[in-house]
Homo-oligomer: A and B are copies of this chain.
Amino acid sequence: MKKKVLLKDVAEYVGVSTALVSYVLNNKEKQARVGDEIAKKIRKAAADLNYQPNLIAKSLQSGKTNTIGLIVADISNPFFSSIARIIEDEAMRQGYVVIFGSSDENPERSMRLIDVFNNRGVDAFIIAPSENAERQIRSLQKQQVPVVLIDRYFKNIRSDYVIINNHDSAYNAVEHLIRNGCRRIAMMAYETHLEHMQQRIGGYRQALKDNGIEFRENWLPRVSYKDVAHQVEDYIKALTRPRLKVDGFFFATNTLAVESLKPLTRMGIRIPEDLAIVSFDESDAFDLFYPPVTYVSQSLDAIGKGAVDLALARILDKKKKPEQLVIASKLVIRESSIRKRSK
């Protein structure tokens, strides 16, 4: 129940000023010309008393918190929590800790988080921005606060970011379906103007076009962020009805796929015979589903590490030119998309 040990306590214990203790414990003995003897004594005393520096005081003094603020859409989404883990590890290796928040794709919530984190003096932000977050990002940049965007980015904001090539990834995925005999290919996307989603849609449309398949609005349901499960189910029902019937489905994210697979299974739709399937992102469920689901694999490792690297680099040099990392994706082909083609 003794009170916390302060720098002052160590100083008194040894019989020197706090300045000396500070110098020694921060390994500035050389510059401060501290005697070897006394330095040793100070270190010993600090250890004996189990002195732990108050990092808040340190931060106030130095203007550094060694904290990274991570804002994602939803930390309970495995895609984001996996990235969070990578970021945590990488940050920890470099002496940083991570404070996180979920924006829920909601600009107000995102803004609140950004403000709070900023007032707490995070040294850098890593953000998977929600729609309409441009102003917030710009504002941070104006204040010279390091920001790295992940997963999503804004065309008209020059910033550090780490993404994958969404257009090509989608293109490849859809082309893969076509090569496997699909001609009536739907894509389920989220209703958002966010660039990454538009790119994925673009890739889908381009693949159709390049293969002489006409695009149909009907085939591109756009799910809004609220009450996803219901909407998904409705769309799945509609698109598997005879009139619209599709033979291939490309899902723009793991949640869309997972939510879609539930009604598909219930309805007894055979995969890939009735419907071939490819999804973006990964999920444990994709492995265990039968048949295993083909998916576009993003290297979460590369994204997380890249984001931390860019963030730390910008902390060191706030004026540096923004860097963009485009991580390669990989189409992991499983049975959900492989049709035995009738020659």
Contacts and interface: CB of A to CB of B under 8 A. Distances in A.
Interface of A: 1, 4, 52-57, 59-60, 65, 67, 74-78, 80-82, 84-85, 88-89, 92, 97-102, 115-121, 142-144, 258, 261-262, 265, 283-285, 287-290
A339 B290 CA distance: 20
Nearest to A255: B284
Contacts of A54: 60, 119, 121
Contacts of A115: 52
Given A52-B118, A75-B88, A98-B101, 14 more contacts: A55-B116, A56-B65, A56-B121, A76-B78, A76-B82, A78-B81, A78-B284, A84-B100, A85-B102, A97-B101, A262-B288, A265-B288, A265-B290, A283-B285
Contact of A284 (B88, B97, B119, B285): B285
A121 B67 CA distance: 13
A80 B100 CA distance: 14
9 contacts: A1-B142, A4-B143, A54-B121, A56-B60, A75-B75, A80-B81, A85-B102, A258-B284, A258-B287
Contacts of A121: 54-56
Nearest to A261: B288
A68 B117 CA distance: 14
B97 A98 contact: no
A57 B261 CA distance: 51
Q: Among the interface residues A54, A76, A98, A115, which one has the most CB atoms of the partner chain B within 10 A? A: A76
Contact of A120 (B55, B60, B82, B284): B55
Nearest to A283: B284
Contacts of A285: 283-285, 287-289
Contacts of A290: 265, 289-290
Contact of A57 (B4, B60, B283): B60
A93 B101 CA distance: 12
Kindly list the 5 A-B residue pairs having the minimum CB-CB distance in the complex, ordered from nearest: A81-B81, A76-B85, A99-B99, A285-B285, A284-B285
Contacts of A265: 288, 290
A26 to B, nearest CB: 15
A142 B2 CA distance: 9
A76 B84 contact: yes
B65 A88 contact: no
Nearest to A264: B288
B65 A75 contact: no
Q: Among the interface residues A55, A115, A284, A289, which one has the most CB atoms of the partner chain B within 10 A? A: A284
Contacts of A144: 1
Given A56-B65, A56-B120, A100 B88 contact: yes
Q: Among the interface residues A102, A265, A285, A288, which one has the most CB atoms of the partner chain B within 10 A? A: A288
